[in-house]
Chains A and B, each alone.
Chain A
Amino acid sequence: MEIVRIPEVHEFSPEEQQVMEGMKGWYRIDFVPKMSRVMRVHKAFGKGYGRATRRAMTDGALSRKQKEMLAATVSAVSVCEY
């Protein structure tokens, strides 16, 4: 159970809602993940960390799918259920 209430998409500004909608396409899913909403609770943090993440996860020397596997590896080693 979360220790905070996670705001719904409609509670954010139109600009932030647009960014969150973009996450659906990025992850090929039909909902906005909790982490995407959590990040946007703090505008500067969400903007900077979100942009850095998008930049880092784009195809480059490593493929996007290798990078998603890296994220899964970090989550496994950190025993992170989310």
Chain B
Amino acid sequence: MAHVAAGKLQGYAEDRIWYELAFTIGLTHGMNALADALRLSPEFTPKPGGTPLVPLVEPEAAPPEVKVVFDEAAALFAMDRPPAVLRALAHDPGYLSDYWIAVKGIFADGALDRLTKAIMAFATSVTAKSEYGTDFHLREMRRLGASERAVIETLEVVQLFNGFTKIADTLRLTPDFSTPSGL
């Protein structure tokens, strides 16, 4: 609550920015939960020997509507294969196709640019201790142009505010800002 207000005061004033942030966090969290629960190996720093709890749909064997999603995903994230988390979802082509509409709609430039969304997805993944998401979104941050300094600054803020939230929760602090607008 306090940092939504602070962010608004610093210049992120429009509600559509905060809607996009919420959708970015939500999608990231949902995909990370699935990936970690199914023990999917991180995409860019793979761990040898891991076996996913459900089989992953092979791109070569995918039906046409799944192949379309796989190709778009590989292109969006500049990968030579579709992300494993989408391959795990591809057993239900209709669900995957619908879900992908949401993913590609959010992980595009919008009220927030793609790099800022990648930074927020990385912060979401680190905070939730998602091995799959941390690996995925750190690579995405760097690919979209984040410097190593930006990575370190992100980690500093994430660490500090993971601490602040626990202090606030332990002491059960009630919000400083309580109007409906957050201000």
A residues sitting closer than 8 Å to B (CB atoms) are 1-4, 6, 27-29, 31, 33-35, 38, 49, 52-53, 56-57, 60-62, 64-78, 80-82
Contacts and interface: CB of A to CB of B under 8 A. Distances in A.
Given A28-B9, A67-B157, A77-B25, A62 B172 contact: no
Contact of A56 (B147, B156, B169): B156
B173 to A, nearest CB: 4
B125 to A, nearest CB: 9
B10 to A, nearest CB: 4
A29 B158 CA distance: 23
B153 A75 contact: no
B160 A52 contact: yes
19 contacts: A3-B171, A3-B172, A6-B173, A34-B176, A35-B168, A35-B176, A38-B167, A61-B146, A61-B147, A62-B153, A64-B10, A68-B7, A69-B7, A70-B157, A73-B123, A74-B127, A75-B165, A82-B1, A82-B168
A42 B79 CA distance: 49
A64 B157 CA distance: 11
A69 B116 contact: yes
B154 A71 contact: no
Interface residues of B, number: 47
Given A1-B172, A62-B150, A74 B165 contact: yes
Nearest to A28: B9
Given A35-B168, A49-B160, A62-B119, A72 B174 contact: no
A27 B6 contact: yes
B157 A71 contact: yes
A59 to B, nearest CB: 10
A8 to B, nearest CB: 14
A75 B1 CA distance: 8
B174 A82 contact: yes
A41 to B, nearest CB: 10
B41 interface: no
B174 A56 contact: no
Contacts of B11: 65
Contact of B173 (A31, A69, A77, A82): A82
A3 to B, nearest CB: 5
